[in-house]
Amino acid sequence: MPTRTKATTHPRARLNRDRVLRAALVLADQGGLEALTMRRLGEALGVEAMSLYNHVSGKEDLLDGLVDIVFSEIDLHCGGRDWKRAMRRRAISAREVLARHRWANGLMESRLHPGPETLRHHDAVLRCLREAGFSIAMSAHAYSALDSYIYGFALQQRSLPFDSGEEATAMVEIFLRQFPADLFPHLAELATEHVMKPGYDYAKEFEFGLDLILDGLDRKRARPHTVRARG
């Protein structure tokens, strides 16, 4: 008589806060924050929604955790490096992270209970600026200018009706058919001589503006007490 083999079962991975947050991150990336509900999150993890409250206290705690993950993904290495290089690298990384997690823009600085990665990131940026010779006030000015530009550019890029150079070219072609070039010559010139050129990528505009800000901050750092002459 053949021996019956007992079926092997694989225990489900233990639920913990990290698993909950990582699953929530996937839902938010796929469908935005409106797709992130405790019921859907429970379904994604194969548990009842009430089980999630053993690991997060509620939706706000969940968002705090997600923002902390986003901050942890931003590349920031300042020790022993030129401050401009470090801030440039950090800004480019932050824009790329916000492009991956489009729902995060607007939440990043809004949390009342920031997590350890969020605080660690802010502290590291300030340390980089202070060690570069920025005063406390100038560090605050520099941080504000950089983040306003990063978040603002990410928001503007998100609102564009195209995601690639090919889509931008197609949009321009529609524009040129609808609006005669002789009525809007400068728009037509920008479209045909810049946007429709091979390799166009709106994201490249980010680095141009970023370098202007960094160069301006560098001049301010070198002459922190310069007073504008009165006329």
Could you tell me the pTM of the whole model?
0.81
d(C-alpha 107, C-alpha 28), whole Å: 13
d(C-alpha 160, C-alpha 154), whole Å: 10
Asked whether 150 and 101 are in contact (CB, 8 A), the reply is no
CA–CA distances in Å: residue 72 to residues 52, 99, 107, 115, 118: 23, 15, 15, 10, 7
| Domain residue limits, the chain | 15-56, 67-159, 161-205
**pLDDT 10s digits, 96-127:** 999 999 999 989 888 889 999 999 999 999 99
Cβ-defined contacts of 208-215 (< 8 Å, 24+): 209/149, 209/153, 210/88, 210/91, 210/92, 210/149, 211/88, 213/145, 213/146, 213/149, 214/84, 214/87, 214/88
pLDDT digits (tens), the chain, 231 positions? 444 444 444 445 689 999 999 999 999 999 999 999 999 999 999 999 999 999 999 999 999 999 999 999 999 888 656 899 999 999 999 999 999 999 999 898 888 899 999 999 999 999 999 999 999 999 999 999 999 999 999 988 887 666 666 777 777 777 777 777 778 888 888 888 877 777 777 778 899 999 999 999 999 887 765 545 444
120 CB-contact burial (10 Å; exposed 0-12 / middle 13-18 / buried 19+): middle
Tokens of 140: 């605050």
Q: What integer pLDDT is reported at residue 146 of this predicted model?
A: 97
**pLDDT 10s digits, 61-86:** 999 999 999 999 999 888 656 899 99
Q: Which fold has domain 15-56?
A: Arc Repressor Mutant, subunit A (1.10.10)
Q: Does domain 67-159 have CATH number 1.10.3720.10?
A: no
Buried b (16+ CB within 10 A) or exposed e, 156-189: ebeeeeeeebeebbeebeeebeeeeeeeeeeebe
